[in-house]
Chain A
Amino acid sequence: MEAGETGTRTYLGVPLYRPRVAFFEFSSCEGCQLQILNNESTLLDFLSLVDVVNFREAMTGGSDDYEIAFVEGSITRDDEVKRLKKIRKKAKTLVALGSCACFGGVNQLKNRFKDINKAKKEVYGRHPIDSEPVRTLEDIVKVDLKIYGCPVKKEEVEKIALHIAIGKSIVFPKYPVCMECKRNENICLFELGEPCLGPVTRAGCDSWCPNSRAGCWGCRGPADEPNMEQMKKIMEEYGFSEETIMDRLECFGGFSSLMGKGNTK
């Protein structure tokens, strides 16, 4: 079936939209793209909903004719800026795939070092390459949709493809991870003496980390109107240092806009 063409496929009589999609990656681990490929039982269904014209992980060659661009990774170099702008021009819809693309991800941690050269040295040893402060896609181009997570959840990407096909809106939970964590009957990590950003982080990962007794690092960024001030107080009360808190909040970059701010509402 050709892209865009809906053929005979309908849902309750409403024709499906089958967009041409392309995947691109910048500075990232490509883990998000791998997520999408890793469940073979639903991969065919996924591929029947979208027409993938470019996917480096899965195919060689690839076409330049696409409607939706899924872009993974953050932007660190000049040539990347140019490439991203080119993609933006071609794509009707640009989707930031994963926390690197949305917030800078782990990459943006190097922005913490005041001296970028020092960061370069620490990361690349004696062979510094051209590397500027890490920027998110949104710092450079307009982003139409953000899919959070490091890595993204495969189910979520599949759901988005499905929603594009049938024309449902794409919504993420507004509440924090704790809600899912309780649904999964985990013992709260604070009770086990571990820090966790679950109370301020957007749910949707099905409390991935607490399920394996690891505290949340906030990879999906803040929930709607998170109570940052109280979160910090709790961390202090449970005996975690300012540094531990900052390490977590800064890890993926999702909280950078809330840093220093207390109550958001």
Chain B
Amino acid sequence: MNPELKFTDVAAELYAPQKRKDDLKGFEYTYRAEITSIYPLTEMETLYRIQVVDPEERRRFAFTPGQFLMLEMPGIGEAPFSISSSPSIHGEVELCIRKVGNLTNFLPRVKRGTHVGIRGPFGTGFPMQNMHGQNVLLIAGGLGLVPLRSPIAYVMENRSHFRDVNIIYGTKNPSQLLFTYQYEIWRKDDIDIEIIVEKADKSWKGPSGLITDPLEDILSGRDSEYYHNTYAIVCGPPVMFKFVCNMLNEFHIPMQKMFVSLERRMHCGMGKCCRCNVGSTYTCLTGPVFDYWTVMNLKEAI
């Protein structure tokens, strides 16, 4: 018998029938995408609009609110970012990115038209359809408004499916407020919006305090019918969502109807690098969106 082993090419066509070739190829596949617009929002954050180049791929690239993608700039870095735009537009996403490290500092320097690689979408999203016929509280602190813009867009496009919708958004100081130009548009869609800053400055005319202040006002004016028929999406730093969710809980909104998005270090988005683990749960697979009951039961979560 010939004692020479034959080489098996897992990328070859012949290998495909048994072993899901497409899955294997998908692992490192990046959509080529173009940065079509770069819009500085604050000193630290910039909004990028990114479009998948190939029309066929563009059609296929769909996501649900709450999901994230991996954005790659060759040689500079690859990192996860929440998709911050309407899920009804395929193959085009908006990302709002804060300058904190290698990739995020490089991106504001590139020109419109630059090509990047994107992988994904990854992770779980907010169960928007389950919320139909219900009241929705959309609560964000700081950069948390970024992932919240996708469910906000969904709610606006499907406004008739929802009852009362409140957005509550807070930052440390007024200069950190994101998407200030959109608040009026949201209001026009019969969405109630409360903006609050922790430290007001001279220019600030709105209320100042903690995000739980307007939340308490909204909740205390309601009855149990409201509490039983309300969903909450809470995005922001852990301390913030902990306080917010505790307050929601005091008003007997069930923990399974509160959703938060967790952030951890990520290098793959596919349950392989283990960097995103909370206790022993993969944030990239089982999250980043979790209901609060699950979060309470995760070791290391808050």
Contacts and interface: CB of A to CB of B under 8 A. Distances in A.
Interface of A: 11-14, 166-169
A12 B74 contact: yes
B105 interface: yes
B114 interface: yes
Given A167-B105, A167-B109, A13 B114 contact: yes
B76 A168 contact: yes
25 contacts: A11-B75, A12-B73, A12-B74, A12-B75, A12-B76, A12-B110, A12-B114, A13-B110, A13-B111, A13-B114, A14-B106, A14-B109, A14-B110, A14-B111, A166-B75, A166-B76, A166-B106, A167-B105, A167-B106, A167-B109, A168-B76, A168-B102, A168-B106, A169-B101, A169-B102
A105 B114 CA distance: 46
Contacts, number: 27
A166 B75 CA distance: 10
Interface of B: 73-76, 101-102, 105-106, 109-111, 113-114
Interface SS of A by simple majority: loop
A84 B102 CA distance: 31
Contact of B105 (A11, A13, A169): A169
Contacts of B101: 169
Nearest to B103: A168
Contacts of B111: 13-14
A168 B111 CA distance: 17
A13 B75 CA distance: 13
A168 B113 CA distance: 21
The 8 A-B pairs with the shortest beta carbon distances in the complex, nearest first, are: A13-B111, A14-B109, A168-B102, A13-B114, A169-B102, A13-B110, A14-B110, A12-B114
A166 B105 CA distance: 11
Nearest to B73: A12
Given A12-B110, A169-B105, 14 more contacts: A11-B75, A12-B73, A12-B75, A12-B76, A13-B113, A14-B109, A14-B110, A14-B111, A166-B75, A166-B76, A166-B106, A167-B106, A168-B76, A168-B102
Nearest to B111: A13
Contacts of B110: 12-14
Contacts of A167: 105-106, 109
B80 to A, nearest CB: 19
A219 to B, nearest CB: 27
Contacts of A14: 106, 109-111
A12 B73 CA distance: 9
Contacts of A169: 101-102, 105
A11 B106 CA distance: 11
Contacts of B106: 14, 166-168
B210 to A, nearest CB: 32
Contacts of B73: 12
A11 B113 CA distance: 14
A8 to B, nearest CB: 15
Nearest to B74: A12
Nearest to A163: B102
Contacts of B109: 14, 167
A13 to B, nearest CB: 5
Contacts of A12: 73-76, 110, 114
Contacts of B75: 11-12, 166
Contacts of A11: 75
A169 B76 CA distance: 10
B79 to A, nearest CB: 13
Nearest to B114: A13
A172 to B, nearest CB: 14
B265 to A, nearest CB: 13
A260 B133 CA distance: 67
Nearest to A15: B109
Nearest to A169: B102
Contacts of A13: 110-111, 113-114
A14 B75 CA distance: 13
Nearest to A13: B111
B181 to A, nearest CB: 28
A13 B74 CA distance: 12
B196 to A, nearest CB: 34
Contacts of A166: 75-76, 106
Contacts of B105: 167, 169
Contacts of B114: 12-13
Nearest to B116: A12
